[in-house]
Amino acid sequence: MPHDDFATEPVRGLPERLPPGEEILWQGQPDWWALAKEALAVRWVAGYFVLFAVWRAIVAGGSLPFWEAVRTGSPFLVLGAVACGLLVLVAVVQAKATVYTITNRRVAMRIGAALTLTLNLPFKWIGSAALDLRQGGTGTIALSLLGETRLSYLNTWPHVRPWRIKRTEPALRCIPDAARVARILAEAAETRLAEPQVERSGPAPAALAAE
């Protein structure tokens, strides 16, 4: 029988129920094909093997008939197909295991296929968000964190902004309709940060007795 590894989640994508006053504004996952192209560079890998196959056929063409020369490059095409198939499989598994959540208080990211973890990023930890919009509407929203908040690049990859290793920026990678999601995030963060923060110091005032 099929088994759902996340069946025990009280709320999809979150390790616990939302506290009073918090609500989910958006949830989504990466587009697996966009993830394969952008995070796993599947097209570059395919091009690499095709280039080797063509080079091998050209070299062999000096001493072999055309079709035999072409066949000498075919093993590279087979290896390339296998490599690209594995990369696509990784992208599908990663996309299926991932849930990005935006609430009116934070961004939460349930990530990881083999080792699952959930990142909870309150808006007050986020300094800025950068949108990388691609053709077709998919895009990545990278979050720049404030202060001493640090994340491991390796533990959070591929859900990070590429090559920001020293100062890792978690990212909602390759999400559909990214421009709309970016607007939801911006409006929620502005509303939350505009709320006055009341801190209580000292004992609470005694309640007035009814007359």
The 10s digit of each residue's pLDDT in 38-87 is: 999 999 999 999 998 888 888 877 777 777 877 888 888 999 999 999 99
- For residue 19, is it within any domain? no
Give residue 75's domain range.
35-94
Residue 178 and residue 116 share a domain: yes
- For residue 138, is it within any domain? yes
Residue 185 and residue 120 share a domain: yes
Tokens at residue 25, please?
């504004």
Tokens at residue 145, please?
């964190």
Of all residues in the chain, the percent with pLDDT exceeding 70 is: 88
- For residue 16, is it within any domain? no
Residue 182 and residue 139 share a domain: yes
- For residue 6, is it within any domain? no
pTM: 0.82
Euclidean distance between CA atoms 159 and 91, whole angstroms: 12
Residue 158 and residue 190 share a domain: yes
- For residue 207, is it within any domain? no
Contact (Cβ atoms closer than 8 angstroms) between residue 105 and residue 122: yes
Residue 122 and residue 67 share a domain: no
Is residue 134's pLDDT more than 80? yes
For residues 184-201, average pLDDT:
76
Q: Within 13 Å and on the Cβ side, how many CA atoms surround 141?
A: 26
Number of domains composing the chain? 2
Q: Is 96 left (phi over 0), alpha (psi -120 to 50) or beta?
A: alpha
Q: Within 13 Å and on the Cβ side, how many CA atoms surround 170?
A: 24
- For residue 169, is it within any domain? yes
Residue 164 and residue 114 share a domain: yes
Torsion angles phi and psi, residue 127, rounded to 5: -80, -40
For residues 161-181, average pLDDT:
93
Euclidean distance between CA atoms 157 and 102, whole angstroms: 20
